[in-house]
Structure 1
Amino acid sequence: MRHIAFALLIAATLAFSPVHAEDAKPFATGKTIDLTAVLKPPPAPDSVQTKAEIGEVLTIQVTRTPEMEARAQADVVEDVWRFADVMGPAFKTEALPVFSAFFDRIVATEGAVVDPAKDSWKRPRPHQASPLVKPVVKVSNSGAYPSGHTTVGTLMGIVLSNMVPEKRAEIMDRAWVYGWNRVIGGIHYRSDIDAGRIAGSVIAARIMEQQDFQTEFTAAKAELRKVLGL
């Protein structure tokens, strides 16, 4: 009976027209979750905190190893498959179509909610604030605050760990590293990362209350757990 119910659930989900990742519909936008009303403003460019954070970025710049740089570069990709190192060899896109489409919406949600806040605050990136900063990841000139990568990493981590609570600690540790790699890469400040973790947690709490999220979460979770043999 469980197998029949699972098959019906997956079939119902697949009945919707497939979309490409870039066309995924977000679960929320900046109009439904206003991060400027949730987060405190970023430190001012000439503040003691910003100067200290630039110093931290510069210290990391001269102490990071090639391995650290490689991990930061790999984590530039914004998708749930960056968690493969803690999820195991069965965690593959081709094996998880329903799960994959669901997380495309999760990633789209981050951009839809975070980008308006970034545009509002327009915090300069470390390399814009100091010519001494040399990022080793793809340069972005969008607002630094909050970190979008950290937001989506936290958001994905929370949702994924709710699907596989057996791996919650490992998943959330990976989400933490995913965000911190933006500082190692030289493209964000510590306070951008802290704000991103708050933003990701807030977004997760808000969208989990929605019926469309709950429906798709249930189908994606069932597919994932079956593939992982849980």
Structure 2
Amino acid sequence: MSVSPACRVRLAAPVLALALAACSGPALRVPSPAPDKAVGYLPAAAIPDSLQLLPAPPAAGSPGEALDLGVSHEALALRGSARWQQAARDADLSFPNGAGQFACALGVAIDAQHTPHLYTLLERSRIDASAATKAAKRQYRRARPFLRNQQAVCTPGDLDDLRQSGSYPSGHSAIGWAWALTLSEIAPERADALIARGRNYGESRLVCNVHWQSDVLAGRFMGAATVARLHDDPAFRADLAAARSEIAAARAAGQAPANDCAAEAAVLQVRPASAL
């Protein structure tokens, strides 16, 4: 075994053996640590219990089901439209993409570099709001609209997951409403735009043909319940306070959203006429 001149040093036997191994063999690669996975703020015991808080979904033949069917019929008329395409974009809650869903309503670009506390707040509260819907989803396992009407959804790549997940309540609606309430508290001057975005974010699930109207309403309820619990969490409150400062700094620096906000606002005016 040949050793490079740089390694020909007088070392004690154990150290020499290690040096020879390092110089004559390939360099050892230290594995990179796995990226941290986001977790919610709330412990399991503090997650609002949707099974206790929500009524059962509308029964067959009830006025509630009639409303669900009527709104779904109106939503189906939007297939293939610009509103349908917006619903597909709204479906993406993966981060970093999900962080920008309310950027136009807020009037500020949201990303991990410039608004790290706000980014973290949205990512972690998303997990809590989603968790708040799980108990009722598992209990009722309500069939989604596309399984009943046999029509397309706006995100066909999600079909396998959607078939296995109960429709009631809507997790996306819970998350969107939780974000709308939280961001309105951080930026009260944008509250009307943010609350409207929370509403039409849930309506995107109607347009996408993956949720009923009653799913969306129940999702909003669970989103609000989640925000109420989050205010008791010190880490959430700390991120909330820091996010206020970040937004003020971002506005001063002119960090506008990259999206075409005028186009988004126009398309979000389109909605199923009977949606609540």
Does the TM-score normalized on the shorter chain lie above 0.5?
yes
TM-score, structure 1 length as denominator? Answer: 0.82
Q: 16, 21, 40: which is aligned to 1:26?
A: 40
* Aligned residue in 2 for 1:66: 81
CA distance in 1, matches of 2:229, 2:133: 14
* Aligned residue in 1 for 2:201: 178
Query: CA contact under 8 A between 1:29 and 1:109: conserved in structure 2?
Result: no
Q: 110, 134, 139: which is aligned to 2:152?
A: 134
Query: CA contact under 8 A between 2:130 and 2:172: conserved in structure 1?
Result: no
Q: 64, 85, 98: which is aligned to 1:49?
A: 64
**1:90-169 counterparts in 2 under 5 A?**
90-131=109-150, 133-137=151-155, 138-139=158-159, 140-141=162-163, 142-169=165-192
CA distance in 1, matches of 2:75, 2:152: 11
Deviations 1:108-149 (A, max 9, x none): 112222223211221110112232x32223431211111001
Query: CA contact under 8 A between 1:155 and 1:200: conserved in structure 2?
Result: yes
SS at match of 1:28: coil
Structure of higher CA gyration radius: 2
CA distance in 1, matches of 2:74, 2:243: 42
CA distance in 2, matches of 1:27, 1:89: 24
Cα 1:220–1:63 change in 2 (3 A) is closer
Give the root-mean-square deviation of aligned CA atoms: 2.3
CA distance in 2, matches of 1:124, 1:148: 14
CA distance in 2, matches of 1:89, 1:209: 27
CA distance in 1, matches of 2:168, 2:227: 18
Q: Which amino acid aligns with 2:153?
A: P
Query: CA contact under 8 A between 1:84 and 1:91: conserved in structure 2?
Result: yes
* Aligned residue in 2 for 1:3: none
Cα 1:37–1:228 change in 2 (3 A) is same
* Aligned residue in 1 for 2:99: 80
Judging by fraction of residues, say which structure has more helix: 1
What are structure 2's unaligned runs of at least 5 residues?
Answer: 1-33, 254-276
Deviations 1:13-51 (A, max 9, x none): xxxxx964xx21212366422111111111135645335
CA distance in 1, matches of 2:59, 2:45: 25
CA distance in 2, matches of 1:187, 1:135: 7
Q: What is the CA-CA distance between 1:222 and the residue it aligns to?
A: 1.8
What are structure 1's unaligned runs of at least 5 residues?
Answer: 1-17
Q: Which amino acid aligns with 1:49?
A: G
Cα 1:49–1:134 change in 2 (3 A) is farther
CA distance in 2, matches of 1:202, 1:161: 16
Q: What is the CA-CA distance between 1:212 and the residue it aligns to?
A: 2.2
CA distance in 2, matches of 1:60, 1:147: 16
TM-score, structure 2 length as denominator? Answer: 0.69
- Aligned residues between the structures: 210
Q: What is the CA-CA distance between 1:156 and the residue it aligns to?
A: 0.5
CA distance in 2, matches of 1:144, 1:31: 24
Query: CA contact under 8 A between 1:127 and 1:187: conserved in structure 2?
Result: yes
* Aligned residue in 2 for 1:12: none
Deviations 1:203-226 (A, max 9, x none): 111211222221221122222222
Q: Which amino acid aligns with 1:27?
A: Y
Cα 1:72–1:167 change in 2 (3 A) is same
Query: CA contact under 8 A between 1:164 and 1:225: conserved in structure 2?
Result: no
Query: CA contact under 8 A between 1:29 and 1:112: conserved in structure 2?
Result: no
SS at match of 1:41: coil
